[in-house]
Structure 1
Amino acid sequence: MSVRPQRSTRFQPRSGRRPRAVAVVAVTAAALGVAGTLPSSAAQPHGPRDSLREDMERVVADTKVPAVLMSTVGPDGRTRDYTAGVGDLRTRSEVPVDGQVRAGSNTKSFTATVVLQLVGEGRVSLDAPVERYLPKLLRGDGIDGRDITVRQLLQHTSGLPNYTEYLMKDIVGKARHTYYQPRDLVDIALKHKAQFAPGTKWAYNNTNYVVAGLLIEKVTGRPLAEQITQRVIDRAGLRRTYFPGVGDESIRGPHPRGYHAAKPGAPLEDITTIDPSWGWAAGQMISTPRDLNRFFSALLGGKLLKPAQLAQMRTTVRTPDDFDEQGKGIRYGLGLISTPLSCGGLMWGHGGDIPGYHTYGGVTDKGRAATIAATADKMPAEDAYAKVDALTDKALCAK
């Protein structure tokens, strides 16, 4: 693509330039607000009074993001939850501690996990053509399912067109409450020419994971939501994570409202209620920062995949500059991203964006974890993504 799309079109972690850390600053009363000092009835932040919470409060004040939520697991194994900002711009209510958010492209890691479980069971081969499992599905201009492998779907090297490039404007507008079946999404993509020949380049692409979801359903004979629930959510002990049912536009549990700005500086619109079916296997799930930490910890800890399949998932390829703008060495595996930390080592996770919510985080090989969620996407300020995301590095590198 000649122009890098907004992250909400790609369900991907914000790859804008991130500072290595957000400076620790003294916090005034104004730092608790979205725009200046809040009235005395404003929600109060939650979490230990430490430099991380202070930085969260400052990020809210500086970027005008309504709220940020964060959960960390430190070297001592303790979980700490933080909030800053307000959960609802209209009522100025408190941000629910570990509140539910739309998790966007973190869904891809769940989908990839199920595919790799099927690989471990001998029911799917990573290097088999998609055609073996979904005959005649992928046909188009430069598109042939006989030439695209399952691995290339999960790795984003298939070259398929990305349906969200053609759908996104409608999703935040007239089609906000429209239900899309998965095949509808694939059909939108197939009307367009392939981006490149399979295996020759890398490009982040939601179509890949919708096709992977269809593959799961074909191989198992069961709904994707059921397979993700039974094989991943239940097995990892995720108590507040779920795959919304058909027609469900709500968020079931305590949650902050989600907002969308047409462009930086534009008014924030409440977009909490939306039909997420257009994300499906690429971005439909709802979770919390704590549950996402628990999921990635279970995944990287070998509790969800056999060693051979986990090794395949962690086998990464280099991402291009439009994804790794800062040149940090971000790499993509099979539904899993590795990001170098400022203190050395890697963060393994994913992250995601969907109208209303931005999530970013992961775990280290030493057992630390950090996930942050912001309640706006697109963000109200140009540098908001970088400032929000830098807090995960700070949390994972804290002594």
Structure 2
Amino acid sequence: MVRARLGLVAALAAVLASSTAMVPSAAYAGEDRDALQRRLDDVVPAGAIGALAEVRTDRGVWRGTSGVAEIGTSREVPVRGSFRAGSVMKSFLATVVLQLVGEGRLRLDDSIERWLPGVVPGGDRITLRQLLAHTSGLYDVVRTLPLPPDPRFVENRWHTWSATDLIERGLAQPPTHAPGAAFSYTSTGYLLLGQVVEEVTGATYAAEIERRIIGPLHLRHTMLPGTSPWIPRPHPHGYAQVEGAAELVDVTEMNPSLFGAAGEIVSSAGDLNRFFAALLGGRLLPARLLAEMKTPGIPGETYGLGLRWEDTSCGVPVYGHDGDAVAYQTWSFVTADGRRQATLAVTRSYEGDADDAAAEFIDQALCG
């Protein structure tokens, strides 16, 4: 039975949570290290097979893991392991779009029709700003895809999806609202933004992200794999719950074109911390465009242009993004002054929901 197997997974993970790999900085006091590890250990029984994290503050760097890297083994999660970071990629792509704005090659109020004529019905009323802020009203293509627990996901895990295929699936559905009227998260808009970057630059969006962000910041564990199904080692294994399967299915290897410009990225905790520190520190965008990025697309929302923010228990707002790549979940946030950062990645057990425990870990890391 699936649920019986999941129960065994959760129990195994809970037992092994106490046998964690931790690489603390000498600058961290024992009490601080212990508090972070306890919070990380809480994530596993809440809904994860394994978890890894990196926290950076003016006191140094703390890295920790909990749970296991692979079901049926006692192998520790690699503390510097790679993982699929999903929609965290939206912050990378949005940064490139805003850099092109800063260079005068795009305007935030350009319509999508100007750059991709005839592609989007009513595209003359949808702006790049709205695509970045998820206020375009375009239907989210993710909701049309055969994802777990649908068994078609496993059957099609090697299938190559083109951006055109994905965009057409999203556009085949009616809009959720008029452009600019509301916030409605949609990866369709970011697939279109990837095509805009290619139209403007003459290079692929992956090449532009590499040239403008990955290379200059020396993000050695970050890649945009395109159609390659592999994750560089070491890495934790990721699993999917699939109808009809007696146990979780290992989907670590899959064709990431399913996510495309909206989330194909593979990275590490250290690289994501380095990226968001550079972004919020003004190294990637001029002040006026960073301010645009931090301005909500709809008043009262907590999402700007490829960047979201949250309040913390200590009253300090934090900026970053989260991502869901089927088997992997990621959270990466930094305080506005860049002095405290935390990235957490988990592999899902489907026995519960790790979101609340993840939020508590991020809060502990950023408030201390």
Query: Which of the residues 233, 249, 255 maps onto 1:275?
Result: 255
Q: Deviation string for 1:83-124 (max 9, x for gaps)?
A: 111111133212111210000000100010000000000000
The equivalences for 1:32-43 within 5 A come to 34-35=12-13, 37=15
2:306 paired with 1:335 = yes
Q: 2:23 — aligned with what?
A: 47
Report how far residue 268 of structure 1 moved: 3.0
| Distance verdict in 2 for CA 1:33–1:238, change over 3 Å | farther
Letter in 1 for 2:54: S
State the TM-score, normalized to the length of structure 2: 0.88
| 3-state DSSP of counterpart to 2:73 | coil
| Identical residues among aligned pairs (%) | 41
Q: 1:286 — aligned with what?
A: 266
Report how far residue 36 of structure 1 moved: 5.4
Q: CA RMSD in A?
A: 2.1
Q: 1:15 — aligned with what?
A: none
2:321 and 2:143 mapped to 1: Cα distance? 20
1:37 and 1:161 mapped to 2: Cα distance? 42
Letter in 1 for 2:256: P
Report how far residue 45 of structure 1 moved: 2.6
Q: 1:373 — aligned with what?
A: 345
Q: 2:315 — aligned with what?
A: 344
Q: 2:174 — aligned with what?
A: 193
2:99 paired with 1:117 = yes
2:347 and 2:12 mapped to 1: Cα distance? 12
Q: Deviation string for 1:268-318 (max 9, x for gaps)?
A: 321101111011111100001111111000001011111221111111145
1:301 and 1:35 mapped to 2: Cα distance? 37
Letter in 2 for 1:221: G
Query: Which of the residues 203, 218, 223 maps onto 1:237?
Result: 218
Report how far residue 267 of structure 1 moved: 4.2
Q: 2:4 — aligned with what?
A: none
Report how far residue 51 of structure 1 moved: 1.5
Report how far residue 190 of structure 1 moved: 1.6
1:34 and 1:116 mapped to 2: Cα distance? 45
Query: Which of the residues 49, 53, 59 maps onto 1:70?
Result: 53
Contact 2:135 2:297 in 1 (8 A): no
| Distance verdict in 2 for CA 1:301–1:257, change over 3 Å | same
| 3-state DSSP of counterpart to 1:34 | helix
2:275 paired with 1:295 = yes
Query: Which of the residues 172, 178, 186 maps onto 1:205?
Result: 186
The equivalences for 1:81-92 within 5 A come to 81-92=63-74
Q: Deviation string for 1:133-164 (max 9, x for gaps)?
A: 1111112xxxx111100000000010111111
1:338 and 1:55 mapped to 2: Cα distance? 21
The equivalences for 1:1-399 within 5 A come to 34-35=12-13, 37=15, 44-48=20-24, 49-60=33-44, 62-63=45-46, 65-76=48-59, 78-139=60-121, 144-169=122-147, 172-245=153-226, 247-262=227-242, 267-317=247-297, 331-366=302-337, 367-376=339-348, 379-398=349-368
Gaps of 5+ in 1: 1-31, 320-328
Q: Deviation string for 1:70-90 (max 9, x for gaps)?
A: 0001232x2221111111113
Letter in 2 for 1:215: V
1:330 and 1:71 mapped to 2: Cα distance? 28
| Distance verdict in 2 for CA 1:318–1:128, change over 3 Å | closer
Letter in 2 for 1:368: R
| 3-state DSSP of counterpart to 1:66 | strand
Tell me how many residue pairs correspond in the alignment: 345
1:253 and 1:152 mapped to 2: Cα distance? 38
Report how far residue 380 of structure 1 moved: 1.9
Report how far residue 63 of structure 1 moved: 2.5
Letter in 2 for 1:111: L
Contact 1:159 1:195 in 2 (8 A): yes
2:84 and 2:65 mapped to 1: Cα distance? 17
Higher helix share: 2
Letter in 2 for 1:357: Y
Gaps of 5+ in 2: 1-9, 25-32
Contact 2:342 2:362 in 1 (8 A): yes
Runs of 4+ aligned structure 1 residues displaced above 6 Å come to: none
Letter in 1 for 2:56: V
